[in-house]
């Protein structure tokens, strides 16, 4: 959504319909975010072309490629790329994240996804996506192997003794010799350990499997939450699961997505929201909703509510938590299909906040101070203007209230910004 997180944003006069494949556009966004002293940029992704070419900008530059290009155009901001554990090999992917971490001076993050949907599966020789639980089992092994690879060089493995002709100390190189259920990885990585040791590990699924995975591995969790109460419950649940998994709950940061639509008055913000909704092509949006809800085409009617008797999340093999969020949103607010599409069009399930900068800052403060969030994934409805507006008008309020940094300061790596430790090397530790 590189003209913005609202699906119709590309149709506005200000938007460039080719922005999503324009490096210059992304450089502009990254520099605005650095002006706002944001922690990081986040790129969602999946290895398939969604069936939306007719409707809106489709496809995307491969995220690690784009973030590598942005690494050279920025100095401070973290670079978080989504990559799939179902359709990559650990050796290649671990190396790519280690390389980005080195090239960016320790700013790499990996949003770990298992990739729902048969479209992706069929691009990799499978007929159907693997079952949800199996995708998560593979993801867990993928992360374990990746951590072995990132640790396969101790930090001081390179001695660089020119006189003696000895470059590295082979005793400090540790081949994983991994033979598991899904992967066999024998040798050490072919790139030294990066500035962060491991890239920041991020996760975004909120299903049961997803939360269990996050409790074990994630250092930051992106989540879609529509109400303060839901966000608080999710936050408390995830922190307690993380503690139960034997980890410090402060070492998983909970980051709900919010979609700000700003105006100098509330009425102006509502009008901007209305203009965006007007640009939604409902025929496409209905098809997409039917696909998400696993309904036959033609089931939904625009001015009726969702049909009764939809299956529960347990019966869904795709994007479980998104499914539940949409069904519950419609039920809780008694929305028609048209109204539901309006709500989803803005943030695809994320919390849309239309209002003045003060109002948006108030909500952020409330969520932040009342146990609903450690931070936020800011997803402006329209880009770059929505990001500019947020940085120019909301960030100063948050800074004035002492809620947000005024400059980057001496912390250099993404982990340091998130207040996370640099991981100990599992092999070095074993020798002590």
**Binding a copy of itself by CB under 8 A: which of 44, 130, 155, 192?**
192
To the question of whether residue 291 is assigned a binding role by annotation, the answer is: no
- Residue ranges in 119-148 that form contacts with a copy of itself under rule CB under 8 A: 119, 122-126
**Binding a copy of itself by CB under 8 A: which of 37, 40, 55, 242?**
55
CB closer to a copy of itself, 49 vs 229 = 49
**Binding a copy of itself by CB under 8 A: which of 25, 88, 227, 416?**
88
Residues in a beta bridge with 184 = 179
Residues in a beta bridge with 223 = 256
Under 8 Å between Cβ of 247 and 213? no
Q: Per CB under 8 A, does 150 bind a copy of itself?
A: no
**Binding a copy of itself by CB under 8 A: which of 44, 103, 236, 295?**
103
Distance, CA of 112 to CA of 140 (rounded, Å): 10
Q: What is the DSSP pairing of strand 158-161 with strand 166-168?
A: antiparallel
CB closer to a copy of itself, 244 vs 431 = 431
**Binding a copy of itself by CB under 8 A: which of 2, 40, 48, 223?**
48
Q: Per CB under 8 A, does 59 bind a copy of itself?
A: yes
Q: Per CB under 8 A, does 275 bind a copy of itself?
A: no
To the question of whether residue 132 is assigned a binding role by annotation, the answer is: yes
Tokens of 293: 């809800």
Q: Per CB under 8 A, does 21 bind a copy of itself?
A: yes
Q: Per CB under 8 A, does 47 bind a copy of itself?
A: yes
Q: How far is CA 112 from CA 130, 245, 343, 417, in A?
A: 16, 19, 27, 20
Contact segment (CB under 8 A) with a copy of itself among 150-158, 228-236, 288-296, 361-369 equals: 150-158
Q: How many CA atoms lie within 13 A of 24 on its CB side?
A: 2
- Residue ranges in 60-79 that form contacts with a copy of itself under rule CB under 8 A: 60-62, 64-66, 68-69, 71-73
User: How many amino acids of this chain bind a copy of itself (CB under 8 A)?
Assistant: 74
Contact segment (CB under 8 A) with a copy of itself among 43-51, 213-221, 340-348, 402-410 equals: 43-51
Q: Per CB under 8 A, does 170 bind a copy of itself?
A: yes
To the question of whether residue 265 is assigned a binding role by annotation, the answer is: no
To the question of whether residue 84 is assigned a binding role by annotation, the answer is: no
| Residue count of the chain | 432
To the question of whether residue 87 is assigned a binding role by annotation, the answer is: no
Under 8 Å between Cβ of 100 and 195? no
To the question of whether residue 207 is assigned a binding role by annotation, the answer is: yes
Q: Per CB under 8 A, does 232 bind a copy of itself?
A: no
Contact segment (CB under 8 A) with a copy of itself among 133-141, 188-196, 306-314, 412-420 equals: 188-196
The count of other CB atoms within 10 Å of the CB of residue 44 is 17
Listed residue (394, 378, 379, 388) closest to 28, CA to CA: 388
From the CB of 237, what's the least distance to a copy of itself, in Å? 34
Residues 6+ away with beta carbon under 8 Å from 126: none
From the CB of 59, what's the least distance to a copy of itself, in Å? 4
Q: Per CB under 8 A, does 85 bind a copy of itself?
A: no
- The Cα angle at residue 97 between residues 5 and 43, in degrees rounded to 5: 0
**Binding a copy of itself by CB under 8 A: which of 39, 40, 41, 56?**
56
Q: Per CB under 8 A, does 167 bind a copy of itself?
A: yes
Residues in a beta bridge with 81 = 43, 110
Listed residue (381, 27, 402) closest to 389, CA to CA: 381
**Binding a copy of itself by CB under 8 A: which of 35, 53, 128, 312?**
53
CB closer to a copy of itself, 51 vs 406 = 51
Distance, CA of 305 to CA of 429 (rounded, Å): 58
- Binding-site residue ranges: 45, 82, 132, 136, 206-207
- Binding-site residue ranges for FMN: 45, 82, 132, 136, 206-207
């Amino acid at each position: 959504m590189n003209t913005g997180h609202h699906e119709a944003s590309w149709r506005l006069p200000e938007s460039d319909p080719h922005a999503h494949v324009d490096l210059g556009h992304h450089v502009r966004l990254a520099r605005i975010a650095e002006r706002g002293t944001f922690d990081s940029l986040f790129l969602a992704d999946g290895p398939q072309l969604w069936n939306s070419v007719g409707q809106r900008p489709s496809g995307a530059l491969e995220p690690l490629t784009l973030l590598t290009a942005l690494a050279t155009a920025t100095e401070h901001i973290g670079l978080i790329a989504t990559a799939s554990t179902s359709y990559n090999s650990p050796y290649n992917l671990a190396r790519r994240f280690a390389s980005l971490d080195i090239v960016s001076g320790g700013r790499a993050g990996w949003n770990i996804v298992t990739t729902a949907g048969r479209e992706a599966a069929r691009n990799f020789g499978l007929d159907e996506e693997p079952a949800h639980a199996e995708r998560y089992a593979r993801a867990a092994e993928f992360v374990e192997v990746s951590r072995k690879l990132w640790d396969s060089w101790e930090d001081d493995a390179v001695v660089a003794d020119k006189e003696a002709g000895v470059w590295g100390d082979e005793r400090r190189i540790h081949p994983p010799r991994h033979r598991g259920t899904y992967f066999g990885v024998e040798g050490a990585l072919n790139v030294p350990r990066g500035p962060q040791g491991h890239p920041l590990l991020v996760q975004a699924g909120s299903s049961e499997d997803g939360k269990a995975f996050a409790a074990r591995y994630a250092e930051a969790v992106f989540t879609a939450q529509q109400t303060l109460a839901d966000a608080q419950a999710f936050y408390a649940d995830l922190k307690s699961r993380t503690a139960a998994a034997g980890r410090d709950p402060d070492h998983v940061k909970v980051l709900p997505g919010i979609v700000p639509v700003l105006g100098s008055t509330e009425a102006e913000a509502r009008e901007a929201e209305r203009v965006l909704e007007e640009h939604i092509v409902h025929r496409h949006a209905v098809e997409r909703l039917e696909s998400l809800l696993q309904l036959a085409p033609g089931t939904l009617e625009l001015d009726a509510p969702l049909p009764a008797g939809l299956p529960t999340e347990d019966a869904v093999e795709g994007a479980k938590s998104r499914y539940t969020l949409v069904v519950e949103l419609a039920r809780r607010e008694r929305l028609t299909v048209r109204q539901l599409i309006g709500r989803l069009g803005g943030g695809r399930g994320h919390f849309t906040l239309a209002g003045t900068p003060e109002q948006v800052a108030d909500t952020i403060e409330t969520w932040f101070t009342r146990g609903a969030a450690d931070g936020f994934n800011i997803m402006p409805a329209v880009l770059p203007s929505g990001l500019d507006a947020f940085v120019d008008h909301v960030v100063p309020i948050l800074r004035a209230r002492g809620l947000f940094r005024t400059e980057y300061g001496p912390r250099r790596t993404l982990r340091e910004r998130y207040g996370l430790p640099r991981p100990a090397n599992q092999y070095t530790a074993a020798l002590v």
